[in-house]
A and B are shown apart, each in its own frame.
Chain A
Amino acid sequence: MSVEPGGILPSQKARVVDSLQRLLGRDHVLYQPEDLMLYEYDGLSTHGTPDAVVFPLSTEDVVEIVRLAARERIPIVARGAGTGLSGGAVAAVGGIVVGFSRMNKILAIDLENQRARVQPGVVNADLSLAVAAEGYYYAPDPSSQKACTLGGNVAENSGGPHTLAYGVTTNHVLGLEVVLPDASVVHTGGSCWDRPGYDLTGLMVGSEGTLGIVTEITVRLCRKPEMVQTLLAVFDSVADATRTVAAITARGITPSALEMMDGFTLRAVEEATHAGYPMDSAAVLLIEVEGIEEAATEDAAQIEAVCGENLAREVRRARTSAERELLWRGRKNAFGALGRISPSYYVQDGVIPRTRLPEMMEFIASMESKYGLRIGNIFHAGDGNLHPLLMYDSRNPEQSRRVVQAAGEIITRCVELGGSITGEHGVGLEKNELMPVLFSENDLAMMRTIKSVFNPDGMLNPGKVLPTGKMCGELRVSAGAGGPGDERR
């Protein structure tokens, strides 16, 4: 992978580090090579080494950092927990990484109005934990929720299994405080819905740190539903499972979650978590419905019927919250479970209309045989968000190349079927060269114009989201990508 080197000139570095230390204190600035090498990666396997990493504690700190960077013309990259899967938090051309791990206070909880104001470093699950006792939670639940930060969620517009009923991050963010590259502080949205003027909050959410640095977030909290029913439907063929997905929504039932795992994946998951998935099945659907008691019970019964009509071998219902948690633990740990059986894997993130699931599955199977690879499949099936996981051994460069090719074909197919190149993991520096596949030159020009309003010199998270024009229509994954156990230079 080659991104043009930029960042701090050696002569500049000492001066900049010194200024940063004076601004923030020595404990909040990293600049030694042995420390910086820990910020080369995020959850994806591309890499780039920053020149310095800083840890602000307040909006004022961020303002000062941004002011200094602007003066010195140094790129800035925000970083939450670094669980991102598209290289978003990686300093592709060097520069200063602004880490939010210490800006992690919940500033205010207002249960009467169902909202909370937080710093961006708060971990997603910690917010739900803080209000759980009162019967509330924060709805968007990425599988990485125990680690990822709300700032990262905002930047990636993250979703999760419950996106189907609750929407993605943008549906739960009421307002933001943002520091722009010229060090000005702006407030978007507010504490209630539908403010007059342009929807700048909507613009910021999902902008992957290229329009501004988020320093405060006001989110909506949801009340826990009266009843949740979790079902596991077991199938002997993948086709039956994918048909069931469309059939359920055709009935007018909206489950709060509808997840699919194929046989290969569920066997790995079962071995890792003992969640009770049947080892000999070809696919399972994990389905959740919720609401007031009568509605949830009725929906669950209907779903059982639909599954039966579509040849489910068996439908189980979780009887206790412990059983429910166990079923979910299996799903939420699925990526990692595959990490156990393969030295490396590459997760693809694509979207298709859910009615096209059966043919997409066939296509992925054909990629397995064409490229001689194992591909596990985990889908947020309800909204057609696919996560094929391509297994390989990073020590084998030839196999690594095949993985990149197959992943590229899969994503192209998603677009052909009327879908998109990313469902929730974002564009980052992995897929920016693919943007022209999805958008016309006019569409992209509009995006560039908007970016130039907020980030005119391109100093915020350079090399991300919009195509650089250096590679054409390709995924950017280094051959030999994978765990940090791989050759990454």
Chain B
Amino acid sequence: MEILTKPRVVVGLGSCGIAAGAAKTYDRLSAIKAAGIIDFELSKTSCVGMCYKEPLVEIHDERGWVMYGDMTEDRIQEILNRHIVQKETIEEFAVSTKSLNGSEDAFFEGQVRIALRNCGHIDPESLEQAEKHEAYQAIRSILTTKKSSADVIQTVLDSGLRGRGGGGFPTGLKWRFAAQSEGDEKYIICNADEGDPGAFMDRSLLEGDPHAVLEGMMIGGYSIGASTGVIYCRAEYPLAIKRLNIAIAQAKAKGYLGENVFGQSDFSFDIYVKEGAGAFVCGEETALIASIEGQRGMPRKRPPFPALSGLWQKPTNINNVETWANIPWIINHGAAAYAAYGTEKSKGTKVFALTGKILHGGLVEVPMGITINEIIFKLGGGIQNGKKFKAVQLGGPSGGCIPAELGNTPVDYDSVNATGAIMGSGGMVVMDESTCMIDLAKFFLHFTQDESCGKCTFCRIGTKRMLEILERITEGKGEPDDIQKLETLAYQIKNNSLCGLGQTAPNPVLTTLKYFRHEYEAHIFDKKCPAKVCKPLLHYSIDAEKCTGCTVCAKKCPVDAINGDRKQTHIINQAICIQCGECYTVCKFEAVMVD
């Protein structure tokens, strides 16, 4: 432990923290510090994953450290006074403490942080701090002990690490193919396109610990014999791009990147960042390569796999951000230490992004094999507003919905696949009883249909036809054979598409059909939406007992469908009603009923 000469205040400045107001809190702290009345050291870090409590501020002093949540700019002065000057701990806002009373928030209990080891703990813009936390130790030891590339690959193989970008292909095996490919010029690519809407672990890693990703790529480069690395990062992540570029410049200045790294070795490696231009399909490896080359990001047939012919037709190894971030830890701590976590076929840990109707939304890293229920209820704190857990969507647009009944499914590649969903990148969107599963399936299909590159007929037109059917169903115009049609189309698309986008696009429909068929039937046959989401299927009426005749609904109705005199029961004219729900929202007496 380092010795503190004065209290240190650390603000979490990840994109999510900043969106919640952390930059303003930081500015306020700078002003307080400049005023000189309270003496403390001010620094910044990135996101620890506890997004639901942002902005987060940690205070370290001789008593230990406390992490405070909801630290908006208007609150920080008081907290500082009470904590630093009056030596109090403000229980009300303390979300996690250490050495004070030893209690850790349940959110961190049960987590094993390997990929996220430094996220939220170091200043991501300081190489010095990163180096205090093992940065560049792994590559340095490989180079100084002259460990052979075959040995490094063997270590990665033994760790059991599988690609975290979705496919789950054994990373060591992929490296071996690329290492065995002939060629004097080879490339390493980091896939930071993170297209799954609802997943943000890659962003958080890049913003929180960019050096870990750079070092992972260097080790990969050494192993396969590449001297150039490209990070393909989506343009929607400006802070990640900025911090990556800072980290690259720092590493170059110190001679960790460039010609003969560390000044002596005969290994040279350079990394640059390529900004994506907004296309989900560019997460697919061959499309990503086409995009780096400046073309439309259309996938191509494999083989040849990138290991044989990738970027500029040279052997290329492409891995996901989280995969890369695990590598230095595996080298430093050994394959066995990594493989000690997880299940037989899914080793190690996985980062999940908890979002949707969950109480504690954020990022968690857990050993593979713990159950969905453990993640949602133990770490995630359960469902918002005391509602009922209905389903969780895993794997984004390529994945599927796992119903609450299967909450005991362990999260490992094979168990998740068996449900019809996929592990994907680790986005977990939690849904409660107010989510309509048909609406959700329609949402995903709209997304994939929009993002299809258009090369394959079934992916381009088949998804459009499926979307049209779903639109009809949610408008109350479903026909008895629609379910049959959806299933036929789904299998045709799966079997006749070139890339993963088309092959998996029907998954959300197939899994909701499998687990929530009754909801489809309610929409089609009874013309009802059980979750009360699909507006055209809703029926609004006014409860005569509760209506006070206040006239608010009649005034708000955009189509004048509500009649009634002041202090008289109001009535909705169903022939005119457009089911906008305005009356339901504005009624203070809960007199508007919807079914």
Chain B binds chain A: no
